C-alpha cells in the first residue's frame, strides 16, 4: 500500500514539474512583431571614403523593408533600386540612405554578393536567429550595364550571421 502511494505521489510530482516547466517556457516566449524588426536594427552605411577608394560602387537601395506577399509589410526585402557611383551622382550620397548596401564580388566563389552589416549589436530581446530575412519573389536586378549580366536574388530565407563584420549581418549571394 505504501509503495502504491509512493509511486502515485512520485508520478504526480513528475507530471506537475513537467507541466510547470512547460508553462514557464511558454510564458517566457515573447512574440516579435515582424514589422518592427528592421526599425530596431541599425545597418552600417557606406562611407564617402569607401566610395572614393573603390571608384565605382554598385549598390541596392530599399525604400522600405517588407515582403511582397504582405504589401511590403513584415521583415524582408521589397521595392528595390539599383544605383552606382560615380556615374549616378543624382541619387545623393550614401549617407542619405538607411537601406543601401554595396554589391561585392567573391573571387573564390566567382560570385557577386550583397552584405548587409549591422552598425551596432542586435537588441538582446530580438532573437534574429529565429527571424531570417525573407525574400518572397525572385528579384532580377538591372545590372547588365555594370556587370554585363543581370544579378538575381532568389526567393527564400537569409539567416543572420553573427560572424559578419563587427556586429553580424546578412549575406545574399546572387544568381546570374
Three-state secondary structure along the chain?
A: CHHHHHHHHHHHHHHHHHHHHHHHHHHHCCCCCHHHHHHHCCECCCCHHHHHHHCCEEEEEECCEEEHHHCCEEEEECCEEEEEECCCHHHCCHHHCCCEEEEEEECCCCEEEEEEEECCCCCCCCCHHHCCEEECCCEEECCHHHHCCCEEECCEEECCECCCCCCCEEEEECEC
Rounded CA gap, 77 and 75, in Å? 7
Mean pLDDT by 10 residues, the chain (176 residues): 52 49 50 83 77 64 80 85 58 51 87 91 92 91 85 93 95 89
Tell me the whole-structure pTM to 2 decimals. Answer: 0.71
What does residue 79 show for φ and ψ, rounded to 5 degrees?
55, 75
Amino acid at each position: 500500500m505504501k509503495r502504491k502511494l509512493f509511486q502515485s505521489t512520485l508520478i504526480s510530482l513528475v507530471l506537475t514539474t513537467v507541466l510547470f516547466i512547460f508553462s514557464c517556457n511558454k510564458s517566457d516566449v515573447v512574440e516579435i512583431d515582424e514589422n518592427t524588426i528592421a526599425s530596431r536594427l541599425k545597418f552600417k552605411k557606406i562611407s564617402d571614403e569607401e566610395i572614393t577608394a573603390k571608384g565605382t560602387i554598385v549598390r541596392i537601395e530599399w525604400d522600405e523593408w517588407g515582403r511582397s506577399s504582405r504589401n511590403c509589410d513584415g521583415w524582408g526585402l521589397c521595392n528595390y533600386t539599383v544605383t552606382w557611383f560615380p556615374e549616378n551622382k543624382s541619387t545623393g550620397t550614401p549617407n542619405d540612405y538607411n537601406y543601401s548596401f554595396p554589391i561585392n564580388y567573391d573571387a573564390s566563389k566567382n560570385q557577386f554578393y550583397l552584405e548587409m552589416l549591422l552598425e551596432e549589436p542586435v537588441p538582446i530581446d530580438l532573437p534574429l536567429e529565429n527571424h531570417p530575412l525573407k525574400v518572397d519573389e525572385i528579384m532580377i536586378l538591372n545590372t547588365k550595364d555594370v556587370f554585363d549580366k543581370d544579378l538575381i536574388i532568389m526567393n527564400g530565407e537569409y539567416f543572420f550571421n553573427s560572424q559578419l563584420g563587427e556586429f553580424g549581418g546578412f549575406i545574399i549571394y546572387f544568381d546570374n
